Chain A
């Protein structure tokens, strides 16, 4: 069953990478086989958690031994404006006896305890490798628990070893399509209801976008899943338009919602000025096409014009400071091209970007925008990155937390632009935040100090004279 679902996800016609593949290639799937001893990155379960955990009022229960949750809970910056239950880590913490005797009964008891103690609107149950091997049927347990306890209990069948984080994202999307979306009817609907898919409200980014939607008169009916509530996700099928933010991750959800409920979708991004404006514009246009009041477009244009002039005015002071500063950008997928244009708008020079997770379309787009000589690295080894930094080829590196030490140990400024980051970079205000963070880092006085030789190293002979 799980295999069928994985094949289905691999066949996804909405995926641009897939569209370019032969039937045989499609069957092989998008999971590159990993090289033992030289692999990095998360597993499918990790990916499923990333998508679903932002549903803040639900309980998220991990069925597995302690490693899957114990080593990994409380480590993401997704934020909620209300319920904090999603930050509570629940696991069945399977022991040797559960491995031998099966963990299904324990799983049921765990679900029951959670429902009795926390009374969440729903419980998500995550399958992991060990119970998948021993054959615990979590779908059956969830069905049973759902009937017994009178609450949605949703199985998320994405054990780590089936594949990458990206596959896990999609399998989580399948779980939503199968068990959640369409199960709750909203109290009322409006012609401007939208659903945003693939935005996780990291560092509160959604809150930089939502006020603008409110102002234009667009109602965010459902966000999958940033600052999410179970009921809102369940009523996503009543949206008039869907926006796919991280298209690689959840393209299957957008396409299937179109297929099932006739909701058109578009791909957009909130990163960077022009992408942000495009997204608002497209949203308004598509809603009007589906019958919303034409005034929506004018209101959107009004907001865009005001915000754009404001953001460029606010970025102006950074331009002289950023002149000649070279950036190495390592980030996944969509963020690459949206960030490139945003940063260049602020006067930075982007040397190149990683395109490991980007689609062919993304790559074409960057090429068109930047020309052939712009670097697009598919798989750059840490050693090579380190060399570029040591050779003074860049003034700052922007990447995820795990590669930060490549930069910091080379004594080159670094900025976190991944999921553990503490600052919100989405929307018009976000790009100003990003430039402020870059400026703070670049202008920090430590860089000069930490690069100085120690007293016992042969430094410049003027050291003594320079002493104050």
Chain B
């Protein structure tokens, strides 16, 4: 059984300087209530690892705008210009990673692998400073695993063991992130007793989840990127 906490309790151990993976694709599957609690807490010097950001002034964008984030690792920063502006002014370090490499580096960390060999980025700026290996006649870039102190992710439904289900395209990066962080905080719109979640429809096996945070559907802060 996993502890059930409020957003404020769930982030108690997140301190200044923490690295945090955040699930979500633009607004889809974005764990906004826990991010809002993090904003209220005032922690700073954070490394945020997220594929992209919301378009509107919620979650990651609020943290970045308030100067709480010192480094952002992701594949896309074009949704809200505050990231680019802070990057250009030198306030924020940004590491851009191709999207497939981003998720696979995270998955590698969570799967106990020493890295990823990918053809993506060969002959581009992404190759700079990286080892190129030839395997069976094909060239690959060596990309190192990416892990974090915390992962904050979201699901629609979880059972009390922490098995959880995310529908549609809301799974995105959350499963890989839940595998690759020391402490995984899972927001869920519903917590059900064991047995009520179809074992065939589990997105997150319970082993990856540490803390359950019930949130209401209405608190999703989801305007679908419009």
> Do the two chains belong together in a single complex?
no
